[in-house]
Amino acid sequence: MSTNRAVAYLKPGAVEVQDIDFPSLELQDGPGVAAANVGRKCPHGVILKVLASNICGSDQHMVRGRTTAPENLVLGHEITGEVIEKGQDVEFIKVGDVVSVPFNIACGRCRNCKERKTGICLNVNPARPGAAYGYVDMGGWVGGQAEYVMVPYADFNLLRFPDADQAKEKLLDLTMLSDIFPTGFHGVVSSGAQVGSTVYIAGAGPVGLAAAAGAQLLGCAVVIVGDLNADRLDQARSFGCETVDLTRGSPAEQIEQLLGEPEVDCAVDAVGFEARAHGENSEEAPATVLNSLMELARAGGGLGIPGLYVTGDPGGIDADAKIGALKLRLGLGWAKSHSFVTGQCPVMKYNFHLMRAILHDKVQIARAVNATPIRLEDAPRGYAEFDQGASRKYVLNPHGALDNVSPA
């Protein structure tokens, strides 16, 4: 039997590369696997040779100890790979296909999937709607920061690239289709942004930068990105964004200097529950972003909220934060008739069209997020540097497919 290596969470602040079982078309018992999913047969699945798997800010929440993730949970929900084996029920995906794997696991059969709400599939996680690879409370599907991984419901879930050789040439851009590009784009679209809109994006991490690139792709007139990290603001400016330095306090005054008014048409939260207050050396204040967006979005504007919020946070700053209860100025949002869209991005709603934008050179998403390939064995370093605020999107390269690939 072939070997398999994968990145696993050990304890707060620590991951390591471990030997794990080669995947099969059956979900085995293991760390985080829901009891009702153990032994689940997947003749509708495929085995992928992982060509690229990205480190995500959502993974960092687990690695920081801010979730109930169990020891030895194999990480990784941003996966691009080559099909090397398929189950007997797979009809359209073929061995040799190069594919993007949406981080949402979806059956394609339930009511929500049929309504394109693939982030909240009803059949893949016994505990709650929605599932993902390598993530706490998401059904226990083994993560893809590995050499090989199993993907269920392959005909429905997988986005096949039309030309495998072309896909490998653009792999560093295409690997962003599994999560952060659709997620950032979803945040912008769900905020109501359109051609000519002014948009403020809170957070210049990879999702925020992907949202900014998506806003530009949509034709927004002004895209403003706010953050506390100077290097990340530099990265946002590198592809034409305006920026707000949140170490200087509330963003309203800086936005007014840019636009002539302190409000924007639309706002996006690309930070989530580990938000910090505005100002230099600020402390954690998890409702900061949501409250500031309600101040900054004009009356009748919209808020897209792809930033992650959780129902359980052992490291929360108080009893309310530990259960995801935040002190929101909902009255302000109500008075301004704001719309709010939250939850996992339904990746399949966007990934096909964003793939076309990449393949036809309409967007350079790898450059926007500063995609940086590293070896699988270097994953612990990548996690540590990302946690320290590096303005990079680390992409694991387990088989060398990215050795000679650069951003488009």
Q: In the CATH scheme, what is the code of domain 180-342?
A: 3.40.50.720
Confidence of residue 8 (pLDDT cuts 50, 70, 90): very high
Asked if 231 contacts 388 with a C-beta cutoff of 8 angstroms, the reply is no
CA 23 – CA 26 distance, rounded (Å)? 8
Domain assignments of the chain as residue spans, ordered by start: 5-179+346-396, 180-342
Q: What amino acid is encoded at 318 in this protein? A: D
pLDDT confidence of 164, banded at 50, 70, 90? very high
Whole-number pLDDT of residue 312: 86
- Rounded mean pLDDT of the chain? 96
Give me the residues paired with residue 81 across strands: 50, 99
What proportion of the chain, given as a percentage, has pLDDT over 90? 95
Considering only the top CATH level, what class is 5-179+346-396?
A: alpha beta
**pLDDT-derived band of residue 394, with 50, 70 and 90 as boundaries?**
very high
pLDDT in tens, 307-326: 999 888 899 999 999 999 99
Q: Report pLDDT for 408.
A: 67
Supply the pTM of this predicted model. 0.96
DSSP for residue 260: S
Alpha-carbon distance 342 to 196, whole Å?
Answer: 24
Q: How far is CA 327 from the centre of its chain?
A: 25
Per-residue DSSP letter, 228: S
pLDDT exceeds cutoff 60 at 1: no
